[in-house]
């Protein structure tokens, strides 16, 4: 079956750095996406990786290793507004998006 694993919850301090990991086992791979979802709101797109390596976008970076079936989302200079759930999703061989359960990130002052 297809499976995406990410931690259920993480806590970090304002101003610090946090890394949210995602491992996947899917039938084929056509890219990995990270989304941010604030409570009660719809997800918003953060990043896309299809080749190995690091993609940087401001305070957020996303890394992919296809051979390891592994990705992480790195958030720097954490702000209170970064408190949200972070969803990892992979497009399989049929270009269907397989979603992880999400990681709830709690930022403390």
Residues within the interface to other proteins (CB under 8 A): 30-31, 33, 35, 40-45, 48, 50, 87, 91, 95, 97, 99-102
Nearer to other proteins, 14 or 41 (CB): 41
- Give min distance, CB of 90 to other proteins, in A: 11
- Give min distance, CB of 101 to other proteins, in A: 4
C-alpha–C-alpha distance, residues 98 and 45, integer Å: 15
Residue 82: phi and psi, rounded to 5, are: -80, -5
Nearer to other proteins, 6 or 72 (CB): 6
Whole-number Cα distances in Å, 26 to 23, 33, 50: 10, 14, 14
Nearer to other proteins, 55 or 70 (CB): 55
Contact 35, 19 (CB under 8 A): no
């Amino acid at each position: 079956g297809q499976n995406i694993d990410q931690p259920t919850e993480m806590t970090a301090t304002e101003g610090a750095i946090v890394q949210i990991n995602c491992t996947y086992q899917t039938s084929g791979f056509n890219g990995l996406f990270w989304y941010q979802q604030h409570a009660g709101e719809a997800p918003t797109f953060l990043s896309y990786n299809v080749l190995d390596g690091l993609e940087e976008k401001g305070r957020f970076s996303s890394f992919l290793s296809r051979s390891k079936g592994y990705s992480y989302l790195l958030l720097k200079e954490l702000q209170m507004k970064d408190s949200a759930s972070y969803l990892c999703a992979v497009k399989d061989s049929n270009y269907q998006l397989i979603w992880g359960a999400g990681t709830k990130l709690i930022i403390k002052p």
